[in-house]
Structure 1
Amino acid sequence: MTMTVRDTFLIGGEWRKPDAQQPVTVISPSTGKAVGQVPEAGPAEVDAAVAAARRAFDAGPWPGMPVEERATVLERALAYLEPELDDIADLVTAEMGLPTTIARQKIPAALSAGRYFLDVARSLPVSEVRQTPFGPTAVLREPVGVVASIAPWNGPFNMAVAKIIPALVTGCCVVYKPAPETPLDVYFLAEALDRAGLPPGVFNLVTGGRETGSALVAHPGVDKVSFTGSTAAGRQIARECGGRFARLQLELGGKSAAIVLDDADPGTVMRGIAAGLFANTGQTCSAFSRILVPAAQRERWTDVVVSTAESFVIGDPFDPATTMGPLVSRAQRDRVLGYVDTGRAEGATVATGGGVPQGLEQGWFVEPTVFTGADNSLRIAREEIFGPVATVLTYDSVDEAVAIANDSPYGLHGAVFTEDPQAAARVARSVRTGTFSVNSFTHNPFAPFGGVKDSGVGRELGPEGIQAFHELKTVNLTPATEHLFA
């Protein structure tokens, strides 16, 4: 793929060239070679972007426009992207290694989700009058303000749509920073929003690394931070936002458990684990990285997990036959292989995988790996690896399985596999997570998504993902003013 070079930010409605900072080079994870370049925003650019968003929110027309008018502008932007979907998919494949056949499914799905968010926003009331013992009272849902939105690299374009469209349609103004590993694809969305006629400063794009993100989070002009990424980074952001009571939305790490009951259908389990762990090369915060199986059937279910891992075709992500691409970077590959070494050192057994695939030493490839002989106290069972590594754990009773699933600092996702509806409902209610699936791995943009414990604060997606960008205001009325708020 040819080199993609972007040399501007979108700030205040203008495509602005950077100061003298060194550019960020985007490396193909499948070849280790450069495929793109973007500028790195320094403090001056971050300050300019936040100031532009602040002006647009405080003095511009966008927050006061009817929801329908905002949605019409954003719908126009999504329509501009339709002819570019294959180009966006190819760029995502180049910058993060997502197999092309998967990318060409996911990118159109992002636009469908974006249109869903617009439809939800149109249906949500922005003013509700309540009759109370103290007289009529209006509850207004107003935009929260200037939003700093910081995204990860493991689903870049889809994440951009899911973060940007809900914030904008509520009337917020956004400064968006993509991950430095995958900053190229969001330029398509930024250009579409600019072309659609957003007022200057309503949407701003800055690119860069950790320092750029830190400057954005710390900026006093930001009313809310929406962040998806590691738990460690989330803690730092929470501390920064807590100091000034900035609103916060954090979708962080996970160590989700898939509980396989003894009556589960093997084919259903294989499909769930394939989608819920090994898809996206394990680089999914909600991945089923702990597989809990009945001790009496340990060998049977271990064989199922191993067969699932070995069913993937690893290779060039632009090859239509490939079903698993590389990890996003050398650092991520080394991190995953380091956890494999840790698991071995702790006494667990590698049942399959555990290294770099033969013939794929160039690029950041790792074999799908399955550990057995582990217990829930090992690091490989407690820490997020963010790669194609499964740890098979055993249990003697369903209550013990639930206890093991809950014995984690995380609480993002989980699943139960069983043919017994009553057992499924019981387990789903007992596992403490923000999201849960029955006989599947389901990422549902039509329902709220998020976690508890170290997996974050707040919810994205679904109607709740729109409401997350609202601030509530109570207006105590007189009878003469009641009709003005109906």
Structure 2
Amino acid sequence: MGELHMEELRHFIGGRCGEPAGGELLSVVNPATEKTLARFGPASAHDVDRAVTAAAEAHHGWAALPVAERVDRIHVWADAVAEHAAELAELECREMGKPVAVGRSFIEGAVSGLKAAAAQALTYPFTETVTGPDEARTDIIRHALGATAVITPWNFPVPMVLAALGPLLAAGNTVVVKPSERSPVSTVRLFELADRAGMPPGVLNLVLGDGRAGAALAEHEDVQLVHFTGSVGTGRAVGAATGARLHRSVLELGGKDPVLIDAGVDPVATAQAVAFGAFVNTGQICTSMERIYVHEQIADEFVEALVAEAQTYTLGDGMEPGTVLGPLVDEQQRDIVRRHVDDAVHKGATLRTGGVVPERSGYFFPATVLTDVDATMLVMVEETFGPVAPVAVVRTFEEGLARAAESRYGLAATVYTDDPEHVAAATRLPAGVVWVNQWQGGGPERLYEPARDSGMGATGARAAYDAATRPAAVHITPRSPRLRQ
């Protein structure tokens, strides 16, 4: 995809690209250069309706295919994405700032995840039989829902689409995808690859737009399920819209993930791991390490090592080799990060490194470490979504556990400990995922549901297929009634 082709992005509905938009145009800005990368006309309610209609019309033919054939077609597309992983990573870099090497690693991981999730359809019990008395039986048949919607955030444009689509498509559903208006360029290319890989028309549809298009999708009477990843406020609106129509939603929302570091672990090695969890993708990950609680016995060594590690995260355009820390997605997001840091310092936190916006073009913010933080500060309460590592010292593991649980969020948590009793205690944290001694661990069979304000709806492995299908019971008695003689 060349620059000329990217200048005006188009919807992809029923196997065809939309006509060039007239009237209002939205811009995609390269956050490293502050220059416009692409423009597109936002989808109207009519465009959304056309996309949903195309998905609904394609559903019956797609669902009628044997499961193995659907899986094969998904795998062909996944292979095409893998072949173009470098190109897609460059597009992600230009539209939201992620360094190319980082983006490519996540895309390649997402391709593997897509193939694994789709392959689970081969063993998923779409039909189960339960025997009853008098030779009667009940067949539990799980039907695809029909037309569904996936609304993705800007921080992982390609991986978030791939993560949602495997179970939906393999189960026999068709999909309308609405990417964030901040980073739709790589998603457009993803759909071009799907079309070239032979996905049937209408099975995958793409509408471009902002919250208005997302609301039209969530409120559409023919959209049977909405898979949404994004902010808590928008997630509540999506849940209300789908609930009003008695339709389903799977919501993965914000996070303020804690990290609990026990006495006895290697403070330097742990600091290196925490730096990665706090700063990778410039901290723009729902499960970034945003609250750090370290045991007082190793706090000084840990903080010293964390500061030293943060200073190795060099700022730069993610297209340039050697860049570790790209820009934030836009000026609005950088303002949020700066406000959180300034608020903490104003309230008594100590700025150990970073914290100052560099004098250069682009929406950059350095890797930042704060100490002497407490729960009165925004940086310990609200989602920062930036490269900031606030560190609080605790006297005991139990104190750290209690403070880690003090949040309205419950997406994930990470614990570093060599104490088996402390591992057992960590399982009680109110989070959808708890990682012990390795951030972002887990395999394709993992399933979870976010807690508290971080969302609702179990996802992963069988749970994703349960959400993507509707069970119906067919009770069969072996003999039909006979008239009495």
Which bracket does the TM-score occupy, shorter chain normalised?
over 0.9
Superposition pairs for residues 22-33 of structure 1, below 5 Å? 22-33=24-35
Tell me the SS of whatever aligns to 1:356. Answer: coil
Superposition pairs for residues 222-301 of structure 1, below 5 Å? 222-301=223-302
Deviation for aligned residue 1:6: 4.0
Q: Answer yes or no: is 1:73 the counterpart of 2:73.
A: yes
Match of 1:176 in 2: 177
Match of 1:484 in 2: none
Tell me the SS of whatever aligns to 1:138. Answer: strand
Distance 1:364 1:480, change over 3 A: farther
Summarize deviations over 1:75-126 as a string: whole Å, max 9, x none. Answer: 2222333432221111111111111221222222222111111211112121
Which of residues 425, 436, 439 in structure 1 aligns to 2:437? 439
Tell me the SS of whatever aligns to 1:234. Answer: helix
Match of 2:483 in 1: none
Summarize deviations over 1:47-83 as a string: whole Å, max 9, x none. Answer: 11111112222xx311122211111222222233343
Deviation for aligned residue 1:270: 2.3
Deviation for aligned residue 1:18: 5.0
Summarize deviations over 1:213-232 as a string: whole Å, max 9, x none. Answer: 11111111111110000111
Distance (whole Å) between structure 2 residues aligned to residue 364 and residue 7 of structure 1: 24
Tell me the amino acid that sits aligned with residue 54 of structure 2. A
Distance (whole Å) between structure 1 residues aligned to residue 19 and residue 166 of structure 2: 25
Match of 1:122 in 2: 122
Match of 2:191 in 1: 190
Tell me the amino acid that sits aligned with residue 30 of structure 1. A
Deviation for aligned residue 1:32: 0.5
Distance (whole Å) between structure 2 residues aligned to residue 380 and residue 148 of structure 1: 33
- Calculate the aligned-residue CA RMSD, in Å: 2.0
Distance (whole Å) between structure 2 residues aligned to residue 442 and residue 63 of structure 1: 34
Distance (whole Å) between structure 2 residues aligned to residue 388 and residue 480 of structure 1: 68
Tell me the SS of whatever aligns to 1:363. Answer: coil
Tell me the amino acid that sits aligned with residue 51 of structure 2. A
Match of 1:88 in 2: 88
Superposition pairs for residues 42-441 of structure 1, below 5 Å? 42-57=44-59, 60-133=60-133, 135-357=136-358, 359=359, 361-427=360-426, 429-441=427-439
Of 194-203 and 162-171, deviating more is 194-203
Distance 1:426 1:40, change over 3 A: same
Distance 1:288 1:368, change over 3 A: same
Deviation for aligned residue 1:133: 4.8
Distance (whole Å) between structure 1 residues aligned to residue 165 and residue 103 of structure 2: 20
Superposition pairs for residues 462-473 of structure 1, below 5 Å? 462-473=461-472
Distance 1:49 1:245, change over 3 A: same
Which of residues 1, 17, 26 in structure 1 aligns to 2:19? 17
Distance 1:442 1:268, change over 3 A: farther
Deviation for aligned residue 1:449: 4.7
Distance (whole Å) between structure 2 residues aligned to residue 294 and residue 78 of structure 1: 44
Q: Does the CA-based 8 Å contact 1:127-1:138 persist in structure 2? A: yes
Match of 2:456 in 1: 457
Distance 1:450 1:96, change over 3 A: farther
Percent of aligned pairs with the same amino acid? 34
Structure 2 unmatched runs, 5+: 481-485
Distance (whole Å) between structure 2 residues aligned to residue 319 and residue 6 of structure 1: 25
Distance (whole Å) between structure 2 residues aligned to residue 480 and residue 195 of structure 1: 51
Q: Does the CA-based 8 Å contact 1:111-1:161 persist in structure 2? A: yes
Distance (whole Å) between structure 2 residues aligned to residue 131 and residue 272 of structure 1: 52
Distance 1:90 1:449, change over 3 A: farther
Distance (whole Å) between structure 1 residues aligned to residue 124 and residue 40 of structure 2: 38
Distance 1:480 1:247, change over 3 A: farther
Tell me the SS of whatever aligns to 2:148. Answer: strand
Tell me the SS of whatever aligns to 1:185. Answer: helix
Q: Does the CA-based 8 Å contact 2:149-2:227 persist in structure 1? A: yes
Distance (whole Å) between structure 1 residues aligned to residue 321 and residue 479 of structure 2: 67
Deviation for aligned residue 1:235: 1.1
Q: Does the CA-based 8 Å contact 1:162-1:461 persist in structure 2? A: no
Q: Does the CA-based 8 Å contact 1:21-1:40 persist in structure 2? A: no
Name the count of aligned residue pairs.
476
Distance (whole Å) between structure 2 residues aligned to residue 62 and residue 477 of structure 1: 28
Distance 1:480 1:457, change over 3 A: farther
Distance 1:48 1:395, change over 3 A: same
Of 204-213 and 299-308, deviating more is 299-308
Distance (whole Å) between structure 2 residues aligned to residue 67 and residue 267 of structure 1: 49
Distance (whole Å) between structure 1 residues aligned to residue 15 and residue 122 of structure 2: 26
Tell me the SS of whatever aligns to 1:139. Answer: strand
Summarize deviations over 1:328-347 as a string: whole Å, max 9, x none. Answer: 11111111111112212222
Deviation for aligned residue 1:184: 0.9
Distance (whole Å) between structure 1 residues aligned to residue 474 and residue 23 of structure 2: 48
Deviation for aligned residue 1:7: 3.7
Distance (whole Å) between structure 2 residues aligned to residue 276 and residue 425 of structure 1: 23
Q: Does the CA-based 8 Å contact 1:143-1:470 persist in structure 2? A: yes
Of 137-146 and 125-134, deviating more is 125-134
Summarize deviations over 1:328-369 as a string: whole Å, max 9, x none. Answer: 111111111111122122222222111113x5x210000111
Q: Does the CA-based 8 Å contact 2:261-2:294 persist in structure 1? A: yes
Q: Does the CA-based 8 Å contact 2:100-2:319 persist in structure 1? A: yes
Tell me the amino acid that sits aligned with residue 351 of structure 1. R
Tell me the amino acid that sits aligned with residue 391 of structure 1. P
Tell me the amino acid that sits aligned with residue 265 of structure 2. A
Distance (whole Å) between structure 2 residues aligned to residue 87 and residue 323 of structure 1: 19
